[in-house]
Amino acid sequence: VDDVARGINFAISRGVDVINLSLGQEVAVIGSDPEFEAAVDRALDRGVIVVAASGNNSLPVCEQPSGQGRLLCVGAVDRRGMRSFFSSFGSGLAVVAPGGSGLPLRDENVLSTWGDGGYREQAGTSQAAPFVAGVAALLVSRGVRGQAAVNRIVATARDAGPPGPDAEYGAGVVNARAAVSGPGGGVARVFVAAVQRIRA
């Protein structure tokens, strides 16, 4: 926890715009370390967009308790758009993004870089959160920063589950095209074209 707090402080000192926190542990412990909480709050106070994985313990609360209401807590959905069984949800959840199903089948999970220089299919909210961090970075590139970017991501999410925000999906599935649409939509077109190439 101390190392992560130092990493956040280092990132702030370098003037970053987006921080992704894909953190977790085998047994969820609700609560946080004061130094870590202070680092997250410092980042948010400086206008940094903080994106955090909700956790993989299927608990009815975002497992990243720091900065609630200001950071983007991200849960996972599978390829069918259903909440991944492992994804924590409920209180504090902002949006969801592709995180895989956790099933040991081909094309069920998210193709992710691996420490050996290759790729593996992985499932988790740590796979979902970077999608949202990427959309946040696109918004920053268009001049939408800090809480304005957070609000845009939540407001443009594609509704899922019962109508309106709910405990399973938050505001819905992150929608990059809708989030970055508007004047000068070049970034949106480039992003969509890149995703289409990846799917092909």
pLDDT tens by residue, 73-111: 999 999 999 999 999 999 899 999 999 999 999 999 999
Q: What is the pLDDT at residue 66?
A: 76
**In Å, what is the CA distance from 153 to each residue of 71, 116, 130, 161, 166?**
11, 33, 13, 18, 16
pLDDT surpasses 60 at 62: yes
Q: Highest-confidence range of 17-31, 74-88, 186-200, by mean pLDDT?
A: 74-88
Label each residue of the chain as H, E or C: CHHHHHHHHHHHHCCCCEEEECCCCCCCCCCCCHHHHHHHHHHHHCCCEEEEECCCCCCCECCCCCCCCCCEEEEEECCCCCECCCCCCCECEEEEEECCCCCCCCCCCEEEECCCCCEEEECCHHHHHHHHHHHHHHHHHCCCCHHHHHHHHHHCCECCCCCCCECCCECCECCHHHHHCCCCCHHHHHHHHHHHHHHC
Global model pTM greater than 0.85? yes
Give mean pLDDT, residues 169-189: 76
Report which of 36, 39, 25, 89 is spatially closest to residue 61, judged by C-alpha positions.
Answer: 89
For the chain, give the mean pLDDT.
87
- pLDDT category at 184 given cuts 50, 70, 90 is very low
Cα distances (Å, whole numbers) of residue 195 to 5, 9, 200:
33, 32, 9
Distance of CA 73 to the CA centre of its chain: 6
Contact 22, 126 (CB under 8 A): yes
